[in-house]
A = this chain, B = another copy of it.
Amino acid sequence: MDFINEKEAIVAEKDGDLLWVNLATKERKPISGFPKDLFTTLKLDVSKYPEGTYPKRADGRMVRYNAGILEVLLDPKYSENRKIYVSYVSQKKDRYALKVIRATLEENLLTDIKTLLNPGPYVPGLFHFGGGMTFGPDGKLYITVGERLFYENSKEGLAIAQDLTDERGKIYRINPDGTIPDDNPDFGKDAIEGIYASGIRAAQGITVEPNTGKIWFSEHGTLQGDEINLLKSGANYGWPNVTSGRYRSEGYQPADVPGAEFTDPIHYWLQTVAPTGLTFYTGTEFPEWYGNLIVPGLSRGSLWRIALDGEKVKTVEELFMDKHIRLRKAEMSPDGKLYLLTDEDNGRIFEVVRKQE
């Protein structure tokens, strides 16, 4: 979700469309012209997958895999150029990969579509595409790309996220037109172009801290290991060689990464949270939250508020514990209202307001 102005927003539906929404009137219009390689759950032929391959609800429908439109972001000069950026799951036959496009939004039609990033290879599993996007204070586009595995890979040699010749499991920094900035970190001549950081398993949310301009991102662990990280140029966040969680594949032993220096998370949970599209609170409705990191959790359906002291966590609060609604994304409106997007069959948008006593 991203805001055109205080009332109008563009919203990415996981199993659906890119929508134009008027939050005041609740009017909504699907945006047409989306690339045809978009893969959503509605296209999934459930009968093709062996029993237990994907998590299922009681009624048998698949809901928890990764697919569909992942994130939408407006250009910082959207009012002038009407450019938007969309990340989504792209399909080629029975294989999938993340794709990030830039397009011009004319009325409710996407035109002038250009692919900015399409980290391969296309592989069968519907896991951990990443697709989190934010503009840094430097005007560059930062994009999270997951390693695409559910279980740890036991292939020979470097793990995907540690292999700088593999496009997955990285964070990218690119120019808004898809070209590579001159001042990206140097990972050597064999490394994939555009890589800004490595050692990523399944990062979704990425956001800029107001005032400091620091970039923070959330990451899903396996069994525990959910993290909040601070993005640094050239950093290696360690997956799978170091993790605060446990491996899903018993006895898994990642290959050594010669000379690697791993960057620790700023915070890791001792329980499964599944942190997603995070943001910094800059509103006035809850003055005591100002500057806190707001992190939606898919797992138990609660919202996490993290108070930082510089790069150190002081307090962590779990909110809406009595609600049990899977939360996908937190976003501040231009006027500083906090909105939440849910991850449900019929997804909803909430504004978070103080309870009237």
Contacts and interface: CB of A to CB of B under 8 A. Distances in A.
A288 interface: yes
A244 to B, nearest CB: 12
Interface of A: 269-272, 288, 300, 305, 309, 312-322
A315 B309 contact: no
Q: Tell which of A271, A312, A319, A321 has the most Cβ of chain B within 10 Å.
A: A321
A314 B321 contact: yes
Q: How many copies does the complex hold?
A: 2
A321 B300 CA distance: 22
Given A271-B270, A288-B288, A313 B322 contact: yes
Contacts of A270: 270-272, 300
A271 B226 CA distance: 13
B316 A321 contact: yes
B314 A317 contact: no
A312 B321 CA distance: 9
User: 5 closest Cβ contacts across the A-B interface?
Assistant: A317-B317, A270-B271, A271-B271, A316-B318, A315-B319
Contact of A316 (B269, B288, B309, B317): B317
A314 B309 contact: no
Contacts of A313: 321-322
Nearest to A323: B314
A321 to B, nearest CB: 5
B315 A317 contact: yes
A313 B322 CA distance: 6
